[in-house]
Amino acid sequence: MSASCVTGCMETDSFAPPASRQPVQTLTIIALGDSLTEGYGLKEYQAYPALLEAKLQKVGFSCSVINAGISGETSSGLLSRINRILSLKPDIVILCTGANDGLGGINHHLISSNISKIVQTFKEHQATVILTGMKMLVNYGPSYTEPYNRLYAEIAEQEQLLFMPFFLEGVAGKPELNLADGIHPNSKGYQIIAASVYPYVLKAMQMVRRR
């Protein structure tokens, strides 16, 4: 993904919902992933999809953000349930997957293949995909972590996606923003994540509106 595309996602503050006199398209946004999306250990309203929906609706957008995260899921598991997600007819998909694959030491080629297939399937069904990157723990060693950390940007570049380089930016490694396990965000952490995802969703909405 070129720097201009990533930067462009941040230049959407002036994007406003349609005027009330115009027909309003209610958008279906699917937040898709594992426990980081589901909101492990928290109430559903505290996880980022609910916070994002509230933020969008507060400024006048007609949309529904569906939390389709499943704790413990891998990219292979997500690929296996993609038809159920398609039945929801998503306009926009926020894709955050692969963390459990990495923690399990799954070959990065398989992770990349799975994510690419997921992305391509959504694109075939006219859904705009926002891909969020992940980073692996350094104790897995550079021979694993380096190709793992690159694969998200490589997929975004190849598929020309809106790309959020790191889903946990500003949250990872900060005890005050995570649960006691040090892995999953707490309610304060999800507020930061929702704010970080927001400009990418605005950009995706612009793309949907132009279709």
Task: State the DSSP string of 111-126.
Answer: HHHHHHHHHHHHHHTT
Instruction: Cite the active site residues.
Output: 35, 181, 184
| 164 Cβ contact list (under 8 Å, min separation 6) | 9, 130, 131, 132, 133, 196, 197, 200
Q: Can you name the residues that pair with 33 across neighbouring β-strands?
A: 69, 96
- What are the Cα distances from residue 154, in Å, to 93, 149, 157, 182? 18, 10, 5, 28
Cα–Cα dist 121/83, whole Å: 9
Phi/psi of residue 59, each to 5°?
-95, 5
